[in-house]
């Protein structure tokens, strides 16, 4: 061996050195500042992100050759380098840590994978007869907000109940302004019809106040007031009003009896219960507001290759409330790591004190036990479904001669009517079933849509999909790359897709075309693979049913996207093409003038009479229609 070869071997060995000795070297340059550290493997992939009150002390723990749990020992053995960021306080380090975990998704960290926003109910304050409606996202509109609710279904049920009791309108401001007679909701006693002056402003304001009190949990006061009004109406011989109040009291009683678990001693809290089994975790979150249960949601965080309950709950709470306002009280099934830090971070997020508690007795303990039971049962169902799903994926691999069971399947379909409103759809499935957060829609931009060219549409969809993947993850380090493509079509479609993928330089992903059989019967599908003869599966094969479900889901998704695009096109007006006229101004113009045609004929002073329309914008609107004419 020459000296140069020896140096090369030595350098290569140094490049792949890992373990506690590598970590030990960093202690020379670290001080006792708080901050965040990252542990990276030999390929510079982030293994773990952690926080520390004292970076030097924390890193020195990892530098010890023994005394670690199996999970931490594996992580240390893979560590080839580290990165550090110092912060002013440990609370800042906690928040930075969770932001980096969300961005980088390290293998050994606990990660909340499903972090969607929750809906609220809002009663705006900028209208003399405010509507009551569902709201999701930032609270940018002025109004009284109530929530969160666990799901859109929970909000819709509550809105339906509130309509029966308080008769508040749910129509948009534009619809309200254009009404000339009461709608059906007035006829079935679900609205007071303020749009046609069936109720005075003061009486409607009283209904709004009652609805707010009800959503704040003051249901006894509301019911007592209604009973008093009914009694007075009877004494005044106003029997029709008394009967209407009686119906509202009856509806309110039904609402109260249908609300499920309504704690008397807990007015506002989130109940967070964790069940951990076999390395998998389920966290159930119940929302208690105004002494009412507003539903629950289950989450399945990734447990970071073996984290325990306190670490999982700490990570869950800081990630869950990253973009949500915490309640005053969070009831937990287990203590959390660094409780003081988590409490400080949540209090800063809420702008007031937030308390964490692990109740041991009483009503609060019963609420936590109920949530824990739901977590335990949900995880059992999830694990059973995963076992079934893994069996189906293994069967799919065997049926189609795949090298291994696919971890990610992408299914593509197109939808259009004679080339109009053409849309491509992609759904994703894997060991956890349908991954709906990763579904995608593709508005067809090329001439292929107008020409009803299915091959051309599929080429556009796949090209856009995989060109983006090649740009964002050329080395295929993430799980965004599919193992299998399912195409709705026969030999021609499969051949075309194979050509498209070859042109993109991605010719190592398995693909299968699913085509109806000779009689086009459900259950007689033929399967096509590039360069192979088509074949079929037996009628009662579970894999056949699995593929049918995948294809039908893709079909449903594509049709839904097409219908949404078609509906949007139907409601489109020339106002959509005017720069500076967004959705709010469009609604205001249509509400004021009644139609886009009337807007096109309006003079500039008339346009300026509409809220939000300045003189320059009024001139722009007028010039747009005059130039068009």
Q: Cα–Cα distances in Å, from 415 out to 276, 436, 450, 465, 588?
A: 43, 19, 12, 17, 34
Calpha distance 70→344 (Å, rounded): 31
At 524, is the pLDDT very low, low, confident or very high (cuts 50, 70, 90)? confident
Calpha distance 248→225 (Å, rounded): 11
Calpha distance 443→326 (Å, rounded): 38
Name the segment(s) of the chain with CATH classification 3.30.420.340: 269-381, 408-568
Q: What is the pTM (predicted TM-score) of this model?
A: 0.70
Residue 261 clears pLDDT 70, i.e. is over it = no
Structure tokens at 378: 């949900």
Among 466, 507, 514, 473, CA closest to 490? 514
pLDDT at 70 (0 to 100): 87
pLDDT at 291 (0 to 100): 79
Residue 276 clears pLDDT 90, i.e. is over it = yes
Q: What is the pLDDT of residues 295-309, one digit of tens each?
A: 888 999 988 878 899
Residue range 215-244: mean pLDDT, rounded: 72
Residue 404 clears pLDDT 80, i.e. is over it = yes
pLDDT at 16 (0 to 100): 65
At 517, is the pLDDT very low, low, confident or very high (cuts 50, 70, 90)? low
Residue range 367-396: mean pLDDT, rounded: 91
**Element housing 94 (H / E):** helix 90-104
pLDDT at 418 (0 to 100): 61
Residue 10 clears pLDDT 60, i.e. is over it = no
Instruction: Name residues whose C-beta falls within 8 Å of residue 535's C-beta, 6 or more positions apart in sequence.
Output: 526, 527
Pick the CATH number of 269-381 from 1.10.1200.10, 3.30.420.340, 3.90.1010.10, 3.30.2130.10: 3.30.420.340
- Chain centroid to Cα 404, Å, comes to 31
**Element housing 569 (H / E):** helix 542-570
* Most confident region among 313-317, 535-539, 611-615 by mean pLDDT: 313-317
Pick the CATH number of 408-568 from 3.30.420.340, 3.40.50.970, 3.40.50.720, 3.30.390.30: 3.30.420.340
Residue range 456-468: mean pLDDT, rounded: 89
What is the spatial order of strands in the sheet that 35-40 belongs to?
46-52, 35-40, 81-86
pLDDT at 253 (0 to 100): 64
CATH of domain 574-628: 1.10.150.20
pLDDT at 519 (0 to 100): 54
- The mean of the pLDDT values for the chain is 85
Name the segment(s) of the chain with CATH classification 1.10.150.20: 574-628
pLDDT at 467 (0 to 100): 92
Q: Is 445 left (phi over 0), alpha (psi -120 to 50) or beta?
A: alpha
Residue range 47-67: mean pLDDT, rounded: 92
pLDDT at 446 (0 to 100): 78
DSSP-assigned states of every residue in 422-475: EEEEEEEEETTEE-GGG-EEEE--SHHHHTT-HHHHHHHHHHHHHHHHHHH-TT
Residue 94 clears pLDDT 50, i.e. is over it = yes
Q: What is the pLDDT of residues 322-371, one digit of tens each?
A: 888 899 999 999 999 999 999 999 999 889 999 999 999 999 999 999 99
Residue 11 clears pLDDT 60, i.e. is over it = no
Residue 628 clears pLDDT 60, i.e. is over it = no
Name the segment(s) of the chain with CATH classification 3.40.1440.10: 18-108
Q: What is the pLDDT of residues 549-582, one digit of tens each?
A: 999 999 999 888 878 777 766 556 777 778 888 8
pLDDT at 569 (0 to 100): 63
Pick the CATH number of 18-108 from 3.40.1440.10, 3.10.20.740, 3.40.50.1100, 3.40.50.300: 3.40.1440.10
Among 241, 249, 260, 257, CA closest to 222? 249
Lowest mean pLDDT among 11-25, 98-112, 455-469: 11-25
Residue 520 clears pLDDT 60, i.e. is over it = no
Kindly report the backbone phi and psi dihedral angles of residue 307, in degrees, each rounded to the nearest multiple of 5, phi listed first.
-70, 155
Task: Classify strands 510-515 and 484-488 as parallel, antiparallel or unpaired.
Answer: parallel
pLDDT at 1 (0 to 100): 47
Among 457, 453, 455, 454, CA closest to 444? 457
């Amino acid at each position: 061996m020459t000296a140069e070869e020896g140096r090369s071997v030595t350098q290569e060995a140094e490049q792949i050195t890992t373990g506690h000795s590598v970590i030990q070297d960093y202690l020379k340059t670290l001080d006792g500042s708080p901050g965040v550290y990252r542990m990276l493997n030999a390929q510079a992939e982030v293994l773990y992100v952690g926080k520390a009150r004292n970076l030097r002390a924390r890193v020195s723990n990892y530098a010890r050759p023994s005394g670690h749990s199996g999970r931490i020992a594996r992580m240390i053995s893979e560590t080839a380098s580290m990165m550090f960021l110092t912060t002013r306080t440990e609370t800042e380090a906690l928040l930075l840590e969770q932001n980096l975990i969300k961005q980088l998704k390290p293998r050994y960290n606990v990660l909340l994978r499903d972090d969607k926003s929750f809906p609220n109910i809002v009663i705006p304050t900028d209208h003399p007869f405010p509507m009551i409606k569902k709201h999701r996202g930032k609270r940018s509109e002025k109004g009284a907000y109530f929530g969160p609710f666990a799901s859109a279904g929970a909000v819709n049920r509550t809105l339906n109940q509130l309509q029966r009791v308080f008769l508040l309108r749910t129509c948009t401001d534009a619809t309200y302004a254009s009404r000339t007679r009461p709608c059906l909701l007035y006829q079935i006693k679900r609205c007071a019809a303020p749009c046609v002056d069936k109720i005075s402003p003061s009486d409607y304001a009283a209904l709004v106040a009652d609805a707010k009190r009800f959503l704040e949990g003051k249901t006894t006061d509301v019911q007592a007031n209604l009973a008093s009004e009914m009694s007075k109406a009877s004494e005044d011989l106003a029997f029709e009003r008394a009967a209407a109040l009686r119906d509202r009291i009856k509806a309110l009683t039904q609402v109260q009896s249908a609300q499920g678990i309504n704690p008397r001693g807990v007015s506002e809290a989130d109940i967070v219960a964790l069940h951990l089994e076999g390395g998998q975790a389920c966290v159930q979150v119940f929302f208690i507001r105004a002494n009412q249960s507003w539903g629950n949601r289950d989450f399945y965080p990734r447990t970071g290759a073996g984290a325990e309950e306190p670490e999982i709950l700490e990570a869950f709470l800081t990630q869950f409330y990253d973009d949500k306002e915490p309640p005053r009280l969070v009831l937990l099934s287990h203590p959390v790591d660094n409780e003081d830090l988590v409490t400080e971070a949540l209090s800063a997020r809420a702008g007031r004190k937030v308390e964490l508690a692990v109740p041991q007795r009483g009503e609060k303990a019963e609420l936590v036990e109920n949530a824990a039971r739901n977590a335990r049962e949900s995880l059992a169902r999830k694990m059973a479904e995963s076992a079934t799903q893994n069996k189906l994926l293994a069967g799919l691999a065997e049926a189609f001669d795949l090298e291994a069971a696919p971890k990610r399947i992408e299914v593509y379909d197109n939808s259009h009517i004679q080339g109009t409103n053409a849309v491509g759809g992609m759904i994703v499935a894997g060991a956890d079933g349908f991954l709906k957060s990763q579904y995608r829609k593709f508005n067809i931009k090329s001439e292929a849509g107008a020409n009803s060219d299915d091959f051309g549409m599929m080429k556009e969809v796949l090209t856009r999909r995989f060109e983006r993947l090649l740009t964002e993850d050329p080395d295929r380090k993430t799980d965004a790359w599919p193992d299998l493509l399912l195409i709705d079509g026969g030999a021609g479609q499969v051949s075309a897709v194979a050509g498209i993928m070859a042109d993109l330089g991605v010719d190592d992903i398995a693909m299968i075309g699913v085509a109806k059989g000779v009689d086009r019967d459900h259950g007689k599908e033929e399967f096509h693979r590039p360069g192979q003869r088509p074949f079929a599966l037996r009628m009662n094969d579970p894999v056949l049913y699995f593929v049918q479900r995948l294809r039908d889901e893709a079909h449903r998704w594509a049709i839904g996207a097409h219908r949404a695009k078609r509906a949007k096109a139907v409601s489109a007006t020339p106002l959509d093409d005017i720069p500076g006229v967004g959705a709010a101004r469009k609604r205001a113009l249509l509400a004021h003038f009644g139609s886009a045609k009337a807007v096109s004929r309006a003079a500039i002073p008339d346009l300026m009479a509409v809220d939000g329309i300045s003189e320059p914008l009024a001139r722009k609107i007028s010039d747009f229609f005059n130039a068009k004419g």
